Chains A and B, each alone.
Chain A
Amino acid sequence: MPSKSKKVIYTLGIDTSCDDTAVAVLKNDRVLANVVSSQVDTHREWGGVVPRLARREHEKMIDGCIALALRRSGVKYIENIDVIAVTYGPGLAPALEVGVRKAREMSMEYMIPVVAVNHMEGHALSTLLKNSRGVNFSKLAKPQFPAIAVLVSGGHTEIVWIEELGKYEIIGQTLDDAAGEAFDKIARMLDLGYPGGPVLARMAEDGDPNSYPLPRPMKDSQDYHFSFSGLKTACLYNTNDLKKALGPKKFSKIVPDYCASVQEAIVDSLLGKVSRAVKKKKPKMVMFGGGVSANNRLRSKFRREMKKQNIPVYFPDKKFATDNASMIALVGYYKFLRAETVECVSKLERDPSITIEHALKKL
């Protein structure tokens, strides 16, 4: 049990839910170190971009990432850590297994309590992270609930109702492809490689979003669900026709305009449903999470719309939009304060298929 008198809690966060090995050290809700294996070196080096779901990759990276996070944080020794927060789902089973096993081992060796964290709860609360001086990265001074979290990434697109910290309900989600996946797949149709979401967004910066009329799927449905497969199919036929009509050289000239139009269609689809949810459910704030929330067009369109509705909207710092362990450590810290530690660490298992609604599950 956490001792009530102790004011400073050092949390070690571990996330191995998908392609990246991520480790972080937090002092309360402040990030002291944030290590992501594919980004340990800044740009132009890569390593995690080609997806390697291989367990061996995480196994190769995890000890180095933990050592680096401890060193960078200044905490130095694992003995100084008060609680280990580890992602136990959702994600790829063998990948999750690496993190969970590491947490179990360290917990037993150093007698440190473990908190099991739901990866999606991490994304939902990523805007609450603060830097080492205690300044919130997202300019979110005081969280207010109930809130709506919009989680948009390559694997997820969902609207989550947050009654209070720890209480979540999915009120809308994608019925087929995730928003990030739509970006990536349409980029492939444009011969921009895969995953081409980031390069599509970059090309879109020089394009006109109104040049190609594309469908806004599910625009008129009364629920809060999304669907992107119709847009994907429309783009497939549209791009094939354009390629035939224009020839490769001329086609490449319209790629920026096409990218801008695609981006606009995806952002509009998100905006329509989130706006509907905000109008109907009247949350006190909207917070974003997930890799697609780093998209600039998405940010500016949502800022404008939420301002109109007079609801504050917050976006994660770009390094906390994609998968990271700081958000896992943050959730772990909150759970530790609520004494939600894992009772029997040796029995802690990964659970690849959980949703954010399982965040309260007693372990």
Chain B
Amino acid sequence: MKKVRLSSKNQQSVMDAVIEVLSRGGLVIYPTETCYGIAADATNPEAIQKLLAYKSKRQDKAISVAVTDQRMAARYVHLNKAAKNMYQNFLPGPITVISRGKGKLAPGVESSHGTQGIRIPDYPFVLELVRQYGKPITATSANVSYKKTPYAIRDVLDNTTAKQQSLIDLAIDAGTLPKRKPSTVVDTTLESIYVLREGGIPLDHKTVFTSHDLEDTQKFVTFICEKIDKYIGKKTIVFFLQGDLGAGKTTFTKMFAKKIGVKDIVVSPTYTICRQYQARAHQKKFQLVHMDTYRFFEPQEIDELDPKQLFAKPNIVVIEWANKVYDHVQQYVKGAIVVKILMQSITPEKKQFEYAIEE
């Protein structure tokens, strides 16, 4: 391993040396605004293999890469609205933006789910290096797996074996870096699914109910309850709720839960994905299953939740963000009573519910 001290005078000659190493598939330790990173040509499969050998025991973790700007990023990942917002307004900076990859980087760079993290470091030397090299370089920290974050070249050397060090071709020493927090990860991939499936659930014979306040919403809940009353405790009843943040999906479910004898406080299931409550109506005990698929990456994830048990007779299942899984769960709702509700917020108080009941 060759070590070069970076100064204000030798920037270009150091850069030339780095480019030479990168273009023949070598590894370089380099400074960034957060800590020392390790660079390999992210499009070169052999260079990535070498990097993975250096890091060791990474299982299937992905590697983020550094680019110069949004245009360069767009060559390797799909940029949606949330991602563009980050690029245009908050980068360069200590933020890693995750998007859906285009599969154009070397194997092992993208995550096993096909996502890719991108950085635009706020460090002029690195930006200029990537610009001159013309290809993305890896922006993973230079420590081997499970060892501490390196803020000096010494931190790397103290925690690596001679064998690991032999894989490094060049180390750019910029002294001890200020101890800055690691980059914050922003995941923009859930947004794309939301936009993609905006079409949503089909509502053929819909009726529209306008609610001007919570009291109206309560009336709506009572009305729906009356409509399905004869099936409660007898058949599986599935509610498909669709509507954006703040449209009133959880409020509806809370009111409905009270109607069917749920004693516990019903809270948002977004984080936990699925909550189950004991319900009691018409002298029958059953479960209210409250699901939120917002964090689903793909509809098949519901298969992992033991759907047979969730949709068992006579459970009542309420699914928020139902458009994400609507097609996929059809296999589980055969013979069930289906209630579809499209919720829209007109003003903070006024809501519009379009609904259809399929018996």
Task: Using CB atoms and an 8 Å cutoff, list the residues of chain A in contact with chain B.
Answer: 18, 40-47, 49-56, 60-61, 64, 68, 72, 90-94, 153-155, 173-178, 180-181, 184-185, 188-189, 191-196, 198-199, 202-203, 229, 232-234, 236-237, 248-249, 252, 255, 352-353
Contacts and interface: CB of A to CB of B under 8 A. Distances in A.
A91 B183 contact: no
Interface stretch (B3-11, B144-152, B229-237, B323-331): B144-152
Interface in B112-148: 113, 115, 117, 119, 139-141, 143, 145-146, 148
Most buried by B among A94, A181, A191: A191
A193 B188 contact: yes
B273 A236 contact: no
A193 B86 contact: yes
Contacts of A175: 254, 265, 267
Given A53-B305, A192-B86, 5 more contacts: A94-B305, A176-B268, A181-B268, A237-B348, A252-B85
A72 B186 CA distance: 30
Contacts of A44: 37, 64, 96, 117, 119, 139-141, 182-183
Contacts of A192: 82, 85-86, 186
A265 to B, nearest CB: 15
Given A43-B182, A202-B184, A233 B246 contact: yes
A45 B61 contact: yes
9 closest cross-chain pairs (CB), A and B = A43-B182, A252-B89, A155-B271, A154-B271, A191-B85, A193-B186, A236-B246, A47-B61, A193-B188
Interface of B: 34, 37, 55, 58-64, 81-83, 85-86, 88-90, 95-98, 111, 113, 115, 117, 119, 139-141, 143, 145-146, 148-149, 182-191, 245-246, 250-251, 254, 265, 267-268, 270-277, 294-295, 297, 301, 304-306, 345, 347-348
6 contacts: A41-B58, A44-B96, A44-B117, A154-B271, A177-B250, A252-B89
B187 A198 contact: no
Contacts of A41: 55, 58, 61, 140, 145-146
A41 B189 CA distance: 22
Contacts of A51: 295, 297
A93 B274 contact: yes
Given A50-B98, A92-B272, A40 B246 contact: no
B58 A189 contact: no
A176 B254 contact: yes
B112 to A, nearest CB: 8
Contact of B301 (A46, A54, A64): A54
A248 B88 CA distance: 10
B78 to A, nearest CB: 14
A236 to B, nearest CB: 4
A45 B267 CA distance: 32
A181 B268 CA distance: 9
Given A193-B191, A233-B246, A43 B183 contact: yes
Contacts of A154: 271
Given A45-B140, A193-B86, A199 B95 contact: yes
Contacts of B190: 50, 193-194
B260 to A, nearest CB: 16
A274 to B, nearest CB: 18
Given A94-B304, A174-B267, A252-B88, A50 B274 contact: no
Contacts of A255: 89
B251 A229 contact: yes
A177 B268 contact: yes
A43 B141 contact: yes
A93 B89 contact: no
A204 to B, nearest CB: 12
Nearest to A203: B90
Contacts of A55: 304
B141 A42 contact: yes
A178 B183 contact: no
B295 to A, nearest CB: 4
A185 B292 CA distance: 13
B146 A72 contact: yes
A58 B236 CA distance: 30
Contacts of A45: 58, 61-64, 140-141
Given A54-B304, A177-B267, A188-B245, A46 B111 contact: yes
Nearest to B303: A54
Given A181-B268, A199-B184, A229 B89 contact: no
